[in-house]
Amino acid sequence: MTFFRNLMAAMLVAQVGGLGTAQAAGSLDELLQQVRNTRAAEQTANVEREEEFKAKANERARLMKEALAKRQAFEAKSKQLSAKYDANDKEINQLTELLAQREGNLGELFGVTRQVAGDVASALSNSMIGVSYPDREQFLLKIAGTKALPSIKELERLWFEMTREMTESGRVVKLTAKVALPDGTAKEAETVRVGPFIAMSNGAYMLYQPTMRQFSVLPRQPAGDFVPAAHRLQAAASGYVNAGVDPSRGVLLALSVERPTLVERIHKGEFVGYIIIAVGAIGALLALLQFIYLIVVRIRVRKQLKDLDHPKPNNPIGRVLLAFKGSPDKIQEEAEVAELRLSEAVLREVPPLERFQSFLRLAVAAGPLLGLIGTVIGMIITFQSITESGSSDPKLMATGIGQAMIATVLGLGIAIPLLFINAALTTLSRGVVQILDEQSAGLLAESIEKRNRG
């Protein structure tokens, strides 16, 4: 059957190839030989394909066997790992329960530790000691915010930071720190720190800025001996030196610097305050002039009292004596006429002795009234600020109330001193007038006695 199939195929090839192929074959023997050769080649090819198929089948069988072996190995390893996982999970649960049992009250202890760390961090963040130890705040915040149990090392450092803060609170330290100047620039400067209370550089007191971790020079330094004390403290190398310390760690220092000076307080009184001061200054100047005049008059009067026989025109007693004894005919006059002449001479001396006292009395009375005017103006400003803002904010009301109080204080401030000054001048002038009255009465009595004897 194979032969006939090959023969038919050869014939078909011969038909398709045409006459040229038939002629090339030459004869049927040649055609048969070609068929045989073709058949042999096909058999060889089939044998080769069968061997290749068998080889591939064997290879696939080997690969399948290896895959099955690997699968079995992985399944065994998976079972082993699963068993190990179950064992580890069981052990973890047992250890967790054991940890919970052994913690006991330590959970509450660590909660207190975190709370203490938070409180200490908030307190130490505002302490100027942090300039020397910038990393401690971050550590304390880490302890305060952690959810894990702190280690022994961390607990020891927490205790160490608290102890170091207490120790540094009692020390005076020189260090180089960043200092912000009033003009906005910053530079590194030598700084003296007295615990966490106060710091100074180049004799100037400074405040601590915790957010910037630097010092800032106060725009206005404290008055009095504070600045020289700062210079002395910076220059000291050992021993004891008097220095100012702010127990509130800068709060009182800032408030004292913000406190207005006398000139600033007067300026807040505005025009009413200036009027009151002008009235007081004029009254004080006139009182000073009159005081000097009365002192000189009293000195001259005392000298004149020691020598009444030689009157001088540079004092009231001398002028009264000269006016009475200037004419010899006055001794012969009637007592009434002589008394009138003496009264006239005394009255002529009284105005210079009592001058400016009426103005001082007016200033004493006008001072509180002017202060009352300033008070009313200040209250008007206060109510106006409340109306404009729609709220009773104390900061908005402070300007008007301050003006009202300052005007009142200024009015009383000139009235009370001028009242005492006027009383002193009145006493001095009345003393001189009293002497004039006594001497004039003595002169009148002497003239009457002489007339009666005559």
pTM of the model: 0.52
Per-residue confidence (pLDDT) for residue 23, from 0 to 100: 45
What is the pLDDT, as a whole number, of residue 282?
92
pLDDT, averaged across the chain = 79
- Phi and psi at residue 186, to the nearest 5°: -130, 145
Q: How far apart are CA 108 and CA 149, in angstroms?
A: 11
Structure tokens at 43: 């058999």
User: Above 60 in pLDDT, residue 22?
Assistant: no
Q: Are 175 and 104 in contact (CB under 8 A)?
A: no
For residue 219, pLDDT beyond 50: yes
What does residue 187 show for φ and ψ, rounded to 5 degrees? -155, 160
Q: Token digits for 212? A: 């910037």
Q: What are the backbone dihedrals phi and psi of residue 306, each rounded to the nearest 5 degrees, phi first?
A: -80, -15
d(CA 197, CA 236): 18
Residue 420 has pLDDT above 90, yes or no: yes
- Ranking 4-13, 275-284, 362-371 by mean pLDDT, the lowest is 4-13
The pLDDT of 253-274, averaged and rounded, is 75
The confidence band for 12, taking pLDDT boundaries of 50, 70 and 90, is very low
β-strand 198-201 against 204-209: which pairing, if any? antiparallel
pLDDT digits 0-9 by tens, 51-90: 888 888 888 888 888 888 898 888 889 999 998 999 999 9
Query: pLDDT: is 336 or 11 the higher one?
Result: 336
- pLDDT at residue 208 greater than cutoff 80: yes
Helix, strand or coil, per DSSP, at residue 220: coil
Please state, in angstroms and rounded to a whole number, the distance separating the CA atoms of residues 343 and 433: 11
Share of the chain above pLDDT 90, in %: 5
For residue 92, CA distances in Å to 87, 88, 287 come to 9, 6, 99
- Which pair of tokens denotes residue 302? 């005392």
Residue 399: which of 417, 416, 379 has the closest Cα? 379
Domain chopping of the chain, boundaries: 2-86, 105-169, 174-253, 268-453
As given in the structure block, the two tokens for residue 298 are 């009293």
For the ranges 17-31, 285-299, 375-389, 430-444, the lowest mean pLDDT is seen at 17-31
Please name every residue paired with 264 in a beta bridge, in sequence order, or none if there are none.
none
Torsion angles phi and psi, residue 173, rounded to 5: -125, 140
User: For residue range 310-340, what is the model confidence (pLDDT) as tens digits?
Assistant: 878 888 877 877 777 654 444 445 666 666 7
Contacts of 432 (CB under 8 A, 6+ apart): 294, 297, 298, 301, 316, 353
Cβ atoms within 10 Å of 156's Cβ, excluding its own: 11
Please check the confidence at residue 295 and state whether its pLDDT lies above 80: yes
At 33, the amino acid letter reads: Q
* pLDDT tens digits, one per residue of 264-286: 777 776 778 888 888 889 999 99
Q: Which residue has the higher pLDDT, 448 or 92?
A: 92
Taking only the tens place, the pLDDT of each residue in 130-142 is 888 888 888 888 8
What does the alpha-carbon distance between residue 60 and residue 64 come to, in Å, rounded to a whole number?
6
Q: What residues contact residue 195 under an 8 Å CB cut-off, 6+ apart?
A: 129, 168, 169, 170, 171, 172, 245
- pLDDT tier at 11 (50, 70, 90 boundaries)? very low
**Encoding tokens for residue 93?**
């649960």
Q: How far apart are CA 173 and CA 301, in angstroms?
A: 69
Characterize 202-231 residue by residue with b for buried, 16 or more Cβ atoms within 10 angstroms of its Cβ, and e for exposed. ebbbbbbeeeeebbbbbeebbeeebbebbe
Lowest mean pLDDT among 215-219, 360-364, 389-393, 417-421: 389-393
Across the range 432-451, mean pLDDT stands at 75
DSSP state of 149: P
Detail the DSSP E strand segments found in 181-313: 186-194, 198-201, 204-209, 214-217
User: pLDDT value at position 88?
Assistant: 92
Give mean pLDDT, residues 435-451. 73
User: In this predicted structure, what is the pLDDT of residue 336?
Assistant: 66
pLDDT at 7 over 50: no
pLDDT at position 103, please? 64
pLDDT at 361 over 70: yes
| Residues facing residue 186 across a β-bridge | 180
Say what percent of the chain tops pLDDT 70.
85
If one compares 424 and 322, the residue with the highest pLDDT of the two is 424
* 351-364 core/surface letters (b: 16 or more CB in 10 A; e: else): eebbebbebbeebb
